[in-house]
C-alpha cells in the first residue's frame, strides 16, 4: 500500500496489510517485568487502619515490560525474539515459563544471579486497584551481564526485520548498554523503534522511530502536547534530539501524532471505544507498529494500525495482548464482521482447526471468490456442510480476485463478501487468502474434506493430492445450472432492448 497524506488508507486496505503480519520477525531488547494480579473482594475496612481488607479469590501472572511487547508481537501473528535480563528467582522463572508457553517467541534472556527480576503486584477489588507493590532494582547492569546481553542481541540480528528498545528505566538499557547497542544496530542497518523513559531523548540518538507518550515528550521538550499544534512542535523537538526518521507521540484520549522528517504532521484520533485499563497499552502499540513495518507497511499505515490495536487493548482489564483476528474484526467496518467470530485470521484459524480435530470433528474446506452470492452458492455450501462436521470457506481477497477475473471485479469488496459468507448457516469459519490458489492455506489448515464444484475433476482440484495424502477426501458437488456471478453481471449490464 502507498498513500499520500490526502488519501489515507481505509480500514479494508489496512486489513489487507494485517494478513501479512506472519512474515514479521521482531527483536525486543529491554526491561523484562512480571505483572502479578491478586483479585478479590473488599467489603470492610481494617480495624487496624483506615484501609480496605482484601479477600483474594483469584490471581494470575503475566509477562510485562519488554516481555509483554514480545507477547503482543506473537498475538498479532509475528515472530519475536526477546532479549533481556532476569534474576535467579521465582519471578524470573515465572516470566521465562509464561513466555515459552506462548510459542513463536525465541528467548535470549540472561540470568543475572543476585539481581532481582522486576515484579509489579497489583491488588484489585472489583474494578478498583487498591495497591501496587514494585519489587525491583534500577541499578545499571554489571559489565559481565551487559556483555552477555549484547552478544545475544548481535547473534539474533541477522534474522531480525525490526528492533524494539523497550525501556522501563530498570537498568537494562543503561548508558553503557544503550550506547553500544545503538552503534551495533546502526552497523547492521536495522530499523529501530524506541519506547523511551529517559527525559533526555538524545540518549536515543540514531533510532528510526521514537514513541514517547504525552508526559514523556513534555518532560523531554518542555512543550505541552495536549493540542495538535503543540504535539507537532514537541514531536519535531524530539526528532531533532534523536536525529531519526520519525517521532510518534501517543496522546491518550487525543490519539496519536506522527511527525516525520520533512513532512507535515499527521494526527490520528483515538480508536478506543471504551477504556477499562491502560496498563500495557504502550507495549501493544509499539508491538503493532513494529510488526506492521516488518510486514511491509509504510510508517503512516503502521501508525494507523498501531492506533487501532491500542484502542482494542485499553478496552481490556490488566496487561493484555491483542490477537490478529481481533484487529481484523475491528477493521472489518464495525458491521457484522466486527462481532461475528466466524471471520478468522490464519493463525487463529489454525488453532480452531486443531481444537476441532482434537474433538474428533471432520473439517471441510471450500474456496472461491463468492462475489455475488446466488442460489447456486447456497446449494454448494449446504452440500459441502453435509459432507463434514465443520465447514471453512477460504475467500479470495480483492487483490486475488482482480488477478483472476480482471480489474472490474470483485463487485463487492472482501469485507462485504466475508460478512455475507459468515452469515450463512452452513459456514463455520471464513478465512481470506491473498494468493491465486488456496494451496498454502490448505497446507496450513489440513482439512479432512476438500470441496469443489463438479465442473472440476478430482485431479484438477488444487490441493486435492495433499488432502488425499493425509487420508482426507475430495468431494465434488453437482452445480445448479443457471446461476453464476458472471451471468448476473452480464444481465445487469446488458443494454435495455425495450
**HSE (side-chain half, CA atoms, 13 Å) at 148:** 14
CA–CA distance, 436 with 401 (Å, rounded to integer): 8
Take residue 381 and report the three cell numbers written for it: 455450501
Asked if 414 contacts 395 with a C-beta cutoff of 8 angstroms, the reply is yes
CA–CA distance, 104 with 75 (Å, rounded to integer): 9
pLDDT at 252: 80
Topology of domain 11-322 in CATH is 3.40.1190
pLDDT at 339: 39
pLDDT classification of 337: cutoffs 50, 70, 90: very low
Give residue-wise pLDDT tens across range 134-144: 999 999 999 99
CA–CA distances in Å: residue 466 to residues 382, 446, 449, 450: 24, 8, 11, 10
Taking the CA atoms of residue 239, residue 240, residue 243 and residue 249 in that order, the dihedral angle to the nearest 10 degrees is -10
Question: Where does the chain hold its CATH 3.40.1190.20 domain(s)?
Answer: 11-322
Take residue 453 and report the three cell numbers written for it: 464444484
Cis peptide before 414, with omega less than 30 degrees from 0? no
What is 343-493's CATH superfamily? HUPs (3.40.50.620)
pLDDT at 207: 96
- pLDDT mean across residues, the chain: 87
pLDDT classification of 19: cutoffs 50, 70, 90: confident
CA–CA distances in Å: residue 180 to residues 118, 174, 201: 23, 10, 16
103 φψ region: left (φ > 0), alpha (ψ -120 to 50), beta (else): left
Q: Which residue in 195, 277, 283, 428 is the catalytic one?
A: 283
Q: Would you call 41 a catalytic residue per the annotation?
A: no
Is residue 61 scored above 80 in pLDDT?
Answer: yes
Is residue 234 scored above 80 in pLDDT?
Answer: yes
Give residue-wise pLDDT tens across range 100-125: 988 889 999 999 999 999 999 999 88
pLDDT at 354: 87
> Could you tell me the pTM of the whole model?
0.70
Give residue-wise pLDDT tens across range 428-462: 999 999 888 999 999 999 999 999 988 788 888 99
Question: Where does the chain hold its CATH 3.40.50.620 domain(s)?
Answer: 343-493
Amino acid at each position: 500500500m502507498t498513500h499520500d497524506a490526502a488519501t489515507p488508507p481505509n480500514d479494508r486496505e489496512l486489513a489487507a496489510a494485517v494478513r501479512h503480519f506472519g512474515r514479521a520477525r521482531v527483536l525486543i531488547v529491554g526491561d523484562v517485568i512480571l505483572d502479578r494480579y491478586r483479585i478479590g473482594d473488599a467489603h470492610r475496612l481494617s480495624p487496624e487502619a483506615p484501609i480496605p481488607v482484601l479477600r483474594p479469590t483469584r490471581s494470575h501472572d503475566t509477562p510485562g515490560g519488554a516481555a509483554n511487547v514480545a507477547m503482543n508481537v506473537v498475538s498479532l501473528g509475528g515472530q519475536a525474539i526477546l532479549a533481556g535480563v532476569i534474576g535467579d528467582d521465582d519471578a524470573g522463572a515465572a516470566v521465562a515459563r509464561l513466555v515459552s508457553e506462548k510459542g513463536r517467541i525465541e528467548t535470549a534472556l540472561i540470568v543475572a544471579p543476585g539481581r532481582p527480576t522486576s515484579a509489579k503486584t497489583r491488588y484489585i477489588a472489583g474494578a478498583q486497584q487498591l495497591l501496587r507493590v514494585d519489587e525491583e532494582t534500577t541499578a545499571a547492569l554489571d559489565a559481565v551481564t551487559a556483555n552477555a546481553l549484547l552478544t545475544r542481541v548481535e547473534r539474533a540480528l541477522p534474522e531480525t526485520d525490526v528492533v524494539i528498545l523497550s525501556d522501563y528505566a530498570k537498568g537494562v538499557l543503561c548508558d553503557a548498554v544503550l550506547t553500544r547497542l545503538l552503534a551495533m544496530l546502526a552497523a547492521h542497518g536495522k530499523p529501530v523503534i524506541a519506547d523511551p523513559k529517559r527525559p533526555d531523548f538524545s540518549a536515543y540518538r540514531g533510532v528510526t522511530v521514537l514513541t514517547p507518550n504525552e508526559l514523556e515528550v513534555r518532560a523531554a521538550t518542555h512543550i505541552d502536547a495536549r493540542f495538535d499544534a503543540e504535539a507537532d512542535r514537541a514531536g519535531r523537538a524530539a526528532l531533532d534530539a534523536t536525529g531519526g526518521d520519525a517521532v510518534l507521540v501517543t496522546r491518550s484520549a487525543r490519539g496519536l501524532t506522527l511527525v516525520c522528517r520533512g513532512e507535515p504532521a499527521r494526527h490520528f484520533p483515538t480508536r478506543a471505544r471504551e477504556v477499562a485499563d491502560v496498563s500495557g497499552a504502550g507495549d501493544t502499540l509499539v508491538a503493532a507498529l513494529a510488526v506492521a513495518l516488518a510486514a511491509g507497511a509504510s510508517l503512516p499505515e503502521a501508525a494507523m494500525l498501531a492506533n487501532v490495536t491500542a484502542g482494542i487493548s485499553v478496552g481490556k482489564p490488566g496487561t493484555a495482548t491483542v490477537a490478529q483476528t481481533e484487529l481484523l474484526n475491528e477493521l472489518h467496518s464495525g458491521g457484522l464482521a466486527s462481532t461475528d467470530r466466524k471471520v478468522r485470521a490464519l493463525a487463529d484459524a489454525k488453532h480452531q482447526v486443531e481444537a476441532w480435530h482434537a474433538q474428533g470433528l471432520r473439517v471441510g474446506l471450500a474456496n472461491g471468490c463468492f462475489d455475488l452470492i446466488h442460489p447456486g452458492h447456497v446449494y454448494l455450501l449446504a452440500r459441502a456442510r453435509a459432507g463434514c462436521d465443520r465447514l471453512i470457506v477460504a475467500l479470495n481477497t480483492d487483490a486475488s480476485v482482480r488477478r483472476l477475473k480482471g480489474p472490474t471485479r470483485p463487485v463487492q469488496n472482501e469485507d462485504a463478501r466475508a460478512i455475507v459468507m459468515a452469515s450463512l448457516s452452513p459456514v463455520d469459519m471464513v478465512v481470506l487468502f491473498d494468493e491465486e490458489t488456496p494451496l498454502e492455506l490448505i497446507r496450513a489448515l489440513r482439512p479432512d474434506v476438500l470441496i469443489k464444484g463438479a465442473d472440476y475433476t478430482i485431479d484438477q482440484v488444487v490441493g486435492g493430492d495433499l488432502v488425499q495424502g493425509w487420508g482426507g477426501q475430495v468431494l465434488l458437488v453437482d452445480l445448479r445450472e443457471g446461476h453464476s456471478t458472471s451471468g448476473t453481471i452480464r444481465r445487469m449490464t446488458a443494454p435495455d432492448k425495450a
